[in-house]
Structure formats: C-alpha cells, structure tokens
Amino acid sequence: MSKMHVKMTVNGKPVEGLAEPRTLLIHFLREDLNLTGPHIGCDTSHCGACTVDLDGKSVKSCTVFVAQANGAEVTTIEGIANPDGTLHALQEAFREHHGLQCGFCTPGMITRAHRLLQENPNPTEAEIRMGISGNLCRCTGYQNIVKSITAAAEQLASMKEAAE
C-alpha cells in the first residue's frame, strides 16, 4: 500500500508525514506526531474523546482520514494552553471546579468547549449542554463540566473586559 505525503499545521506548527490513506487523523496525531492528548474512545464518532479543531470547527478525528486533513489547520488539547505555558482559563476552570474525574474525556471535552466559547462566548447552561452533547463522560454526570465551562466563560469575559 503506497503511502501518501501529508502536510498540515498542528497547534501552529507545520508538520508533515507519510501515511497510508486509510490512516485516521487521530492515529496520525497520536502515533506519528506523538500528540497523545486526544484520546480514542469508540472509533465510531459517538464519544467525542478524539475531538480536535479542524479548520476552526470541532470534528471527531476518528472519523476523518488524515488525507482529508491535508493542508488543514488542526488544534489539539496540546495547543490550548497559553503561549507562556500557563493553563488556559478552561483548563484552570476544569481543575478548580472538579470538571474531571478519570480524565479520559477531558481533552475532547476541553477542545470542544474551547470552540464552543469562540462560537458563543456567553452560553446558557442549556446551550453548553447541547454544545457538548457529542462528548460523553462516564464519571462526572456532566454537572461539574457545565460548571467549569460556565466559570471559564465568565473568566474569559472579564479578561476581555480588562484588556479593553
């Protein structure tokens, strides 16, 4: 099986590699780029553990072939923290509000919430729940995840206000 040459920007850095066409984006990220933040939960698009940003939209990287991401911009959980290495407001809020227990869903949950807050910086609780409905968590019962995202939205809004 011939491999194809793929190039993309991942977390702001240009990357390239050789991959079989049947390689899923999640496998390329984890196995070729060693970005093991996005997790493999179900391989069938149900669980959302593999959620990444692809050209500014949340997608499940287990249902995208790496060939389809050729030339794209990808953001994974590894690209969410602030440039100085401190935690992003969402990561901080998940820590503060106990938004995770086992942590398996957390990278997908935060990556999804990160995009949600860019699309809707001031979401209602219902909008948060609908926005993360493609991400499953088997530990928390979601309550603390919703609380974390709400807190992060408030924090980001006050940071924005302070900057203006």
Near another protein by CB under 8 A: residue from 22, 95, 138, 160: 22
Of 10 and 116, which has the nearer Cβ to another protein? 116
Near another protein by CB under 8 A: residue from 1, 126, 162, 163: 1
Q: Which two three-digit tokens encode residue 142?
A: 């979601």
Task: Give me the amino acid identity at 102.
Answer: C
Task: Report phi then psi at 6, rounded to 5.
Answer: -120, 145
Q: Identify which range of 10-18, 50-58, 86-94, 152-160 contacts another protein by CB under 8 A.
A: 50-58
Report the C-alpha gap between 89 and 124 in whole angstroms.
18
The DSSP result for 33-87, as a single string, is S---SS--S-SSSSS-TTEEEETTEEEEGGGSBGGGGTT-EEE-GGGTS-TTSPP
Which x/- pattern over 28-47 shows residues binding another protein (rule: CB under 8 A)?
---------------xxx--
Residue 27 is a binding residue for another protein (CB under 8 A): yes
Q: Which residue ranges make up the site for another protein (CB under 8 A)?
A: 1, 4, 20-24, 27, 43-45, 48, 51, 57-60, 62-65, 67-68, 112, 130-131, 133-134
